[in-house]
Amino acid sequence: MAAISHHPVTSWQARLIGRGMRIAVRPLLTHAPLTDWTMARLRWADLAGSALALPEGATAIRRSFGEFDAELVTGAGVSDSAPSIVIYFHGGAFVMGGLRSHRRLVSRISSAAGSPVLQVNYRQLPAVTLEHTVDDCLRVYRELLDDGYPASRIAFAGDSAGGYLVFAVAHAAMAQGLPVPAAIAALSPWVDLTCKYSTDHPNARTDSYLPIRQLSAIGKRLAPAGDPLLALLEADLARMPPTLIQVGSTEVLRSDAELMTDRLSSAGVQVALQIWDRQIHVFQATADVVPEANAAIGELGRFIHEKLAGPLRTVNKKVAT
């Protein structure tokens, strides 16, 4: 049975950011043309993250995976030789986002969970399809297993599009005979890529900045109609690991979070859903100014730490600068 909790407090900082996003960001996203040219240039938005320094005491080391790379982020107070690790899949609707844009969020998750976080700079539209993206992320998991990390010391975490990937990659791992990770943490997951359920949800009108029409258009570009990757909610989820899902009460992807919670619970999976009142999509990224974001990261960190806890050992990491 699912454990569903509501977090009713909304700070003035959260309300201010929500209004600002609705005024300044939603109109831009609503009217942005989704051509190959514009989608390719949305990747440049990740460069803006270069202006955001890592929190004091955190480190980041690049690791190459050939056609893409990743970054091992170690938060303040965390040892980079810790025997557990979190694999993080960033959000950005499969067209934007990257290592720079999510570095501060990932470093905070590392500190909260007490484990280094390897965030994956997977390939995105329009360069590749969803199948390639899932393959990239599965490759990272497979290589960490080859490095000597047991699955019981690995957790998946991700936001939005990355919230889809945490489940899709775990499902792909099962299909290939690999063990599932010890835990999954999903922040505002976009799991219904067809937007069949979210389009008619009341939150399609209340979301601060995500236009459902654009999400639906991107979903049509990700994979051919009928592709099993588009039917994650109908997949066999019975062997999924314990899962924590966090979502804002008024965001358009609340329906996705609730549906995935229901599917996991029906499959007998231990799942907890936290609904945070009037928080924006992936509000955890606003932890510099929003107290609820810090609280949510703390909840997420405790969940991961609990699932990765136990007799530990040091492993040999293959991390290259």
pLDDT digits (tens, 9 = 90+) for 112-158: 999 999 999 999 999 999 999 999 999 999 999 999 999 999 999 99
| pLDDT value, residue 38 | 75
CA distance 205 to 172: 34
Give the three-class secondary structure for 121.
strand
Please give the residue range of the domain that contains residue 97: 3-308
The answer as to whether 80 is a domain residue is yes
Rg, Å, the chain Cα set = 18
pLDDT at residue 67 is higher than 80: yes
Kindly provide the b/e burial profile for residues 203-236, where b requires at least 16 CB atoms within 10 angstroms of the residue's own CB.
bbebbbbbbbebbbebbebbbeeeeebbebbebe
Mean pLDDT of the region 278-297? 97
pLDDT for res 319 = 46
Q: What are phi and psi of 7, to 5 degrees?
A: -115, 95
pLDDT at 109: 98
Alpha-carbon span 119 to 98, nearest angstrom: 9
Q: Are 154 and 87 in contact (CB under 8 A)?
A: yes
pTM for the full model? 0.93
What pLDDT is stored for residue 37 in this prediction? 75
Side-chain-side CA neighbours of residue 244 (13 Å): 23
d(CA 269, CA 278): 27
**Taking a C-beta distance cutoff of 8 angstroms, is the pair 151, 173 a contact?**
no
Task: Look at residue 28 in the predicted model and tell me its pLDDT.
Answer: 85
Lowest mean pLDDT among 24-38, 68-82, 260-274: 24-38
Q: Residue 220 belongs to a domain with what CATH number?
A: 3.40.50.1820
Question: What value does the mean pLDDT take over residues 247-266?
Answer: 98
Provide the residue type at 154 as one letter.
I
| Tally of domains in the chain | 1
Nearest residue to 214 via CA among 162, 161, 275: 161
The answer to whether position 321 is within a domain reads: no
How many angstroms separate the CA atoms of 267 and 287, rounded? 33
For residue 134, being part of any structural domain is answered with yes
Report the pLDDT value the prediction gives residue 43, as an integer from 0 to 100.
Answer: 67
Q: How far is CA 104 from CA 11, 51, 286, in A?
A: 21, 11, 10
Residue 314 lies in a domain: no
User: Is 117 a member of any domain?
Assistant: yes
Domain contains 161: yes
Tokens of 7: 């977090």
The answer to whether residue 287 scores a pLDDT higher than 90 is yes
* Cis bond upstream, residue 228 (ω within 30): no
Q: Can you give the pLDDT at residue 80?
A: 82
Query: Is 298 inside any structural domain?
Result: yes
Q: Which two tokens stand for residue 257?
A: 């979070």
The pairs formed by 194-202 with CB atoms below 8 angstroms and a separation of 24 or more are 194/219, 194/230, 195/219, 197/255, 197/256, 197/259, 198/252, 198/253, 198/255, 198/256, 201/252, 201/254, 201/255
Element (H, E) at 266: helix 254-266
Percentage of residues of the chain with pLDDT beyond 90: 83
> By the 8 A CB rule, do 320 and 62 touch?
yes
pLDDT at 81: 85
Q: How large is the average pLDDT for residues 151-180? A: 98
Please report, as a single letter, which amino acid is at residue 197: Y
Instruction: Over range 269-278, report the average pLDDT.
Output: 98
The answer to the question of residue 86 being in a domain is yes
Query: Can you tell me which residue has the tokens 């990491």?
Result: 317
Q: Is the dihedral of CA 163, 237, 137, 34 positive or negative?
A: negative
Catalytically active residues are 160
pLDDT at 53: 81
**Backbone angles phi and psi of 192, in degrees to 5:** -95, 85
